[in-house]
Structure 1
């Protein structure tokens, strides 16, 4: 496996993960309500028998660090997974979209509900499903672009 490509995929995934984390944290400040990611972290902590803050309280610095750190760790793992699952000839757009949708399906439609930390995605409204799909497509495209840019000396393939 090409180390530069793996590094690029992880970097692209981390960049996208940071962007999505920033959007969620900005949403918390705007609405005064914890983000979906904070809710997910709290449900996971509760399932592990850990004390959690009241559902309507915004995360403090420690909780935000744990929540966003976990999100970025998952982003890095996903980036490495992209590099392992695709070859160097993979087109950025098609592989990025497919990867983003596959990751979305795995996280929101399977793993989250099966682990009991997220309501099944099919119970969400159409706007929520569309927003999650678009966010994960953007994540997949950033991951694919990072891999392509790092592994080629010329311009990336589209």
Structure 2
């Protein structure tokens, strides 16, 4: 495994994290990541702020730091499982969809952090699918660029 390929997940995670933080600021409502963190905190018996409040600096560091760690782990999985000669778009699409299924359809509901994705409306499923496709292709592109650097 080329260790530099794992940078793809981190770069993609940084981009998506920045987009989510900007969305929170623009909309004035917490992101889905913040909601997930708060559900998890309540399940662990940790004090949590009201659901409608934007995260403060400490909470934002926990939420976004956790997201970046997950993205880095995803980048490592990509680097370990995908051949270096694989095409960026096809491997990115498969990876992004696989990650989406693993997180939103299986892990989140199993951990009771979110309602099952099959109970979401079409717009939510569509948004999640697109975001994870972009993440997958960005991970593949980042991994390819890092490996060729």
Say yes or no: TM over 0.5: yes
For residues 73-116 of structure 1, the C-alpha deviation after alignment (integer angstroms, 9 at most, x for no partner) is: 00000000001111122111111000000000000000000000
DSSP-derived class of the 1:79 partner = helix
> Structure 1 unaligned runs (5+)?
154-158
For residues 96 and 44 of structure 1, the distance between their equivalents in structure 2, rounded to whole angstroms, comes to: 29
Partner of 2:107: 111
For residues 84 and 30 of structure 2, the distance between their equivalents in structure 1, rounded to whole angstroms, comes to: 39
For residues 151 and 14 of structure 1, the distance between their equivalents in structure 2, rounded to whole angstroms, comes to: 14
For residues 30 and 146 of structure 2, the distance between their equivalents in structure 1, rounded to whole angstroms, comes to: 36
For residues 143 and 14 of structure 2, the distance between their equivalents in structure 1, rounded to whole angstroms, comes to: 17
Moved more, 54-63 or 17-26: 17-26
Cα-Cα RMSD = 1.3
Cα displacement (A) at 1:128: 1.1
Cα displacement (A) at 1:31: 2.1
Partner of 1:28: 24
For residues 84 and 29 of structure 2, the distance between their equivalents in structure 1, rounded to whole angstroms, comes to: 42
Please give the TM-score of this superposition, normalised by the length of structure 1: 0.89
DSSP-derived class of the 1:52 partner = coil
Check the 8 A contact 2:8/2:146 in 1, yes or no.
Answer: no
Partner of 1:96: 92
Cα displacement (A) at 1:149: 2.1
Partner of 2:7: 11
Cα distance change of structure 1 residues 92 and 35 upon mapping to structure 2, 3 Å threshold = same
> Structure 2 unaligned runs (5+)?
none
**1:1-158 → structure 2 map (5 Å cutoff):** 1-3=1-3, 7-8=4-5, 10-152=6-148
Please give the TM-score of this superposition, normalised by the length of structure 2: 0.94
Name segments (4+ residues, structure 1) moved above 4 Å: none
